[in-house]
Amino acid sequence: MEYGKFAGVKVVDNCVWLQFEKQTVNVEIITDEIIRVFVPTWMKDYKSVAIEGDVAIPVDFDVTELDGEDKKVRISTSSVSLCIGDDFDFTFLDKYGDELLSSFNGSRKLKETLSEKSMSLLAAEGHDVSDLKSKDYKVQVLFKLRDEERFYGMGDKTGFLNKRGYAYENWNSDIPQLHHENMPALYKSIPFYIGKGAGYVYGMFFDNTFHSYMDFGKESSDYFYYGADEGNLDFYFMAGEAIADIVEHYTYLTGRAPLPQLWTLGYHQCRWGYESAKDIRTVAKAMREHGIPCESVQYDIDYMEGYRVFTWDDKEYEPAGQLIKELEQDGFKAVCIIDPGVKVDKGYRVYDEGIKKDYYAHDKDGDVYVNEVWPGDAVYPDFGREDVRKWWANNHKFLTDIGMQGIWNDMNEPASFRGPLPLDVQFSVNDRLTNHAEAHNVYGHYMSMATYEGMKELTGKRPLVITRACYSGAQKYTAVWTGDNQSVWSHIQMLIPQLCNLGMSGFTIAGTDIGGFGGDSNPELLVRWIEAAAFSTFFRNHCAKGQRLQEPWQFGDKVVDIYRKYVKLHYRFLPYIYDLLFESQITGLPVMRPLVLHYEDDENTFNLNNQFLVGENMLVAPVVEQGATKRMVYLPVGTWISYWDGKRYQGNQHIIVDAPLDVLPIFIKEGSIIPMYEDVQYVGERPYDTLTLLVAGDSAWGSHYQDNGEDFAYLEGEYNLYSFTYEDGALDCDMLHEGYEKYKEIKVERL
Ligand code: GLC
């Protein structure tokens, strides 16, 4: 991108227009800490999908023209400055004048192209040669790579916590093959990262939905870059004192996950391969017989009639609603999958309605675009249109009428079996007709938005929506899971950094398929997986057709016992998880956090991939290696108390703990109070009228949030907020807010 010499500056409201010889750059002051840089190479009045409404607030800022220096203009708020020179050479500085991020003044070192002969030899042996060339992107910006800088965030990308040295693409991709650590893209596009070095931190969100690229120093050790095939260069720079501030700013921009229904946080069992009502009933019954708490046995695609969305196969799954009602008696809630592809089938209501109203995407010649998904030939609703979303939302009435309580959105990258959708298929974004190239990454986002709105309207409850694909900001509508993982140890290892990075990217409600989706699980793997996932906010065992059955009882009594222990542990800590989700609405912070989020100056945490925090006060160190029965745990500063035996450890050291198959090492920070509930088989089995407080240490403090766990009454003040202090053997309770029926009993358990 060429800018040329700086030619002038104009301030209009909260915008600073910088004129260069060849380009205009608009710097918009969003808040004291957030600055948007908008280079309208494509569309001047672009409206974001991720950021809804006007987020800019009035802020005092100065614009100074600098004489005789490299930089020509300085724009400053009280928290951050941006200095800009010729050729859009820029530096962001913190309030002390220290550098946070600078542009890199040079060009990229593109890879040398291999000879045709080498390429064909590589291709002949089956190597992927698509990545062997590199090119400058139409939209591109290079940044100076500082020696010690680390990069976090980026949503569901594979690999490790620190993304430095890796390159990624934002292009929602359905990948059933093994997700390995160098994968450029998965299902979601979250072009947001947190840059962290010694004494500084900042965040960047690149708001562009076209295919984009983020290279964190893989191509060069001098620079890192962002590129996109089309669109504007449109980024939000966020300043702060700590990583947590950046998460707060990013979720201020793109939104925070609303409180879910309490039951949705419980355990779910699933398999693509429950092919009849009988299968679902058998599994539900077995869950209760084995005493493993469970909320839902989820309905994968087979419940539909020929994979037609919003239908029910009355033959295999019994008349619609019957099974759902029967299982409700035993506390099971119904959750089913809905894919976007609508079967091409004259006479099928959904297809016909969509055709009549012209709701499906068209090819470049104006014909309704057809590809193939589960039902065979299928058409794709144009979810970027409000009227289409409304129609889709209303279609859920068929499901809510038969008792469906949660919706799982899948295949919404969108997936297709007859080759990828051409980039010129016509879809809409914000009701503006455009092409698939722009709409692809927001297709799942819009679908989950429609689903959320439909379920909210139809049930009056907080919707459970789960999606596989989405874009930044979808956390406002949906929980996510990480798609088709596999039953391999590297995927237990990966779930920790993956869920931590998703959490720091706004997705506080997230999970992986426990046991692995593809491939055969085994007793040790399944046990270690339920342990590693025990604090997941989306907590589901799921696997694919044809793989070894994966319900815990398929692996013998010992597995069932350990599995039950950890599902029960999850239920015991439900109020703590729920408290963190309440807090998350205010701070954007996730439940599952990497240690670096709270101990950011401690270098032992910088790329700690095999342990995590739950909130601030619980540290979890799962065994993620086959055969291991001991593990090294890093305890950061403070005193940490083992949950299992009350043993106290001073932090700031590595310790080695025993972790036989049935032990998940958990440590509670001294001085904290963790709320716990009693055993139940499902949420709602009995009212939660007793709260137990786990008090770690002789003096401790904690808060707790309580509401009906179901609807939106909490927004009208129907909730309680408790503040607890434990001192000299006595518990003191202060009500910070009182608006809901209080617990009948509050017990103390000392640790
Ligand atoms: C996709 C989903 C998986 C689901 C299957 C069948 O592979 O990722 O979770 O079970 O489709 O619907």
- Residue whose pair of structure tokens reads 């798609």 in the numeric block: 483
Question: Separation of 275 CA from ligand 1 center, angstroms?
Answer: 14
Secondary structure string (H, E, C) spanning 430-461: CCEEEEHHHHHHHHHHHHHHHHHHHHHHHHCE
Q: Is the CB of 484 under 6 A from ligand 1?
A: yes
Go through the domains of the chain in sequence order and give each one's CATH number. 6-254 (2.60.40.1760), 297-471 (3.20.20.80)
Question: Separation of 215 CA from ligand 1 center, angstroms?
Answer: 30
What is the rounded radius of gyration, in angstroms, for the C-alpha atoms of the chain? Answer: 26
- Residue whose pair of structure tokens reads 């589960």 in the numeric block: 374
Atom of ligand 1 nearest to the CA of 545: 10
Q: Exposed e or buried b for every residue in 697-714, given b needs 16+ CB within 10 A? A: beebebebbbbebbbeeb
The H or E element containing residue 288 is: helix 277-289
Among residues 246, 269, 301, 221, which one has the least CA distance to residue 513? 269
Question: Separation of 272 CA from ligand 1 center, angstroms?
Answer: 7
Tokens encoding 403: 């008792």
Question: Separation of 353 CA from ligand 1 center, angstroms?
Answer: 26
Q: Is the CB of 174 under 6 A from ligand 1?
A: no
Atom of ligand 1 nearest to the CA of 270: 10
Q: Which long-range contacts (CB under 8 A, 24 or more apart) does 322-328 make?
A: 322/277, 323/277, 323/280, 323/281, 324/402, 324/403, 324/404, 325/403, 326/281, 327/280, 327/281, 327/284, 327/297, 328/403
Q: Do residues 649 and 655 touch, judged by C-beta distance below 8 A? A: yes
Distance of alpha carbon 187 from alpha carbon 150, whole angstroms:
24
Which residue's alpha carbon is nearest to atom 12 within ligand 1? 301
Which residue's alpha carbon is nearest to atom 10 within ligand 1? 272
Query: Number of C-alpha atoms within 13 angstroms, CB side, residue 97?
Result: 0
Atom of ligand 1 nearest to the CA of 337: 12
Q: What is the DSSP letter of 575?
A: H
pLDDT of residue 67: 84
Active site residues: 410, 413, 484
Q: Do residues 282 and 289 touch, judged by C-beta distance below 8 A? A: no
Among residues 6, 13, 103, 19, which one has the least CA distance to residue 59? 13
Question: Separation of 410 CA from ligand 1 center, angstroms?
Answer: 7
pLDDT of residue 431: 98
Distance of alpha carbon 566 from alpha carbon 665, whole angstroms:
12
pLDDT of residue 128: 83
Tell whether the torsion through CA atoms of 411, 417, 423 and 425 is positive or negative. Answer: negative
Residue among 177, 300, 547 whose CB has most ligand 1 atoms within 8 A, to mutate: 300
Tokens encoding 598: 């709270």
Chain-centroid distance of CA 18 in Å reads 35
Output phi, psi for 256, to 5 deg.
-120, 155
Atom of ligand 1 nearest to the CA of 272: 10
Q: Is the CB of 468 under 6 A from ligand 1?
A: yes
pLDDT of residue 113: 78
Distance of alpha carbon 552 from alpha carbon 202, whole angstroms:
44
Q: Is the CB of 410 under 6 A from ligand 1?
A: yes
Which residue's alpha carbon is nearest to atom 7 within ligand 1? 484
Q: Is the CB of 615 under 6 A from ligand 1?
A: no
Q: Is the CB of 413 under 6 A from ligand 1?
A: no
Question: Separation of 482 CA from ligand 1 center, angstroms?
Answer: 11
Chain-centroid distance of CA 208 in Å reads 18
Q: Is the CB of 187 under 6 A from ligand 1?
A: no
pLDDT of residue 578: 98
Which neighbouring-strand residues pair with 82? Answer: 75, 92
Among residues 95, 90, 98, 96, which one has the least CA distance to residue 72? 90
Q: What is the DSSP letter of 686?
A: S
Atom of ligand 1 nearest to the CA of 301: 12
Q: What is the pTM of this model?
A: 0.98
Q: Is the CB of 339 under 6 A from ligand 1?
A: no
Question: Separation of 466 CA from ligand 1 center, angstroms?
Answer: 12
Q: Is the CB of 300 under 6 A from ligand 1?
A: yes
Question: Separation of 461 CA from ligand 1 center, angstroms?
Answer: 26
Q: Most distant CA pair in the chain: distance in Å?
A: 81
Which residue's alpha carbon is nearest to atom 3 within ligand 1? 484
Q: Do residues 176 and 253 touch, judged by C-beta distance below 8 A? A: no
What would the DSSP string read from start to end of 56-75?
------EEEEPTTSSEEEEE
Residue among 270, 297, 410, 413 whose CB has most ligand 1 atoms within 8 A, to mutate: 410
Q: Is the CB of 337 under 6 A from ligand 1?
A: yes
Atom of ligand 1 nearest to the CA of 339: 12
Which residue's alpha carbon is nearest to atom 5 within ligand 1? 272
Question: Separation of 271 CA from ligand 1 center, angstroms?
Answer: 9
Distance of alpha carbon 575 from alpha carbon 294, whole angstroms:
17
Q: Do residues 540 and 481 touch, judged by C-beta distance below 8 A? A: yes
Number of neighbouring beta carbons within 10 Å of residue 345: 16
- Residue whose pair of structure tokens reads 């501030």 in the numeric block: 245
Q: Is the CB of 186 under 6 A from ligand 1?
A: no
Question: Separation of 734 CA from ligand 1 center, angstroms?
Answer: 47
Residue among 484, 487, 514, 543 whose CB has most ligand 1 atoms within 8 A, to mutate: 484
pLDDT of residue 749: 98
Looking at 558-695, which runs of residues are DSSP E strands?
Answer: 592-593, 612-614, 618-620, 630-635, 639-642, 648-650, 653-658, 666-669, 673-676, 690-695
Q: Exposed e or buried b for every residue in 720-736, given b needs 16+ CB within 10 A? A: bbbebebeeeeeeeeee
Atom of ligand 1 nearest to the CA of 411: 1
Q: Is the CB of 175 under 6 A from ligand 1?
A: no
Atom of ligand 1 nearest to the CA of 176: 7
Q: Is the CB of 302 under 6 A from ligand 1?
A: no
pLDDT of residue 40: 95
Distance of alpha carbon 635 from alpha carbon 658, whole angstroms:
15
Angle separating helix axes 557-572 and 574-587, nearest 10 degrees? 50
Residue among 335, 339, 408, 411 whose CB has most ligand 1 atoms within 8 A, to mutate: 411
Residue among 156, 188, 268, 272 whose CB has most ligand 1 atoms within 8 A, to mutate: 272
Question: Separation of 411 CA from ligand 1 center, angstroms?
Answer: 8
The H or E element containing residue 481 is: strand 479-481
Question: Separation of 449 CA from ligand 1 center, angstroms?
Answer: 20
Low-confidence residues of the chain, pLDDT below 50? none
Query: Do the strands 404-409 and 334-338 form a parallel or antiparallel pair, or are they unpaired?
Result: parallel
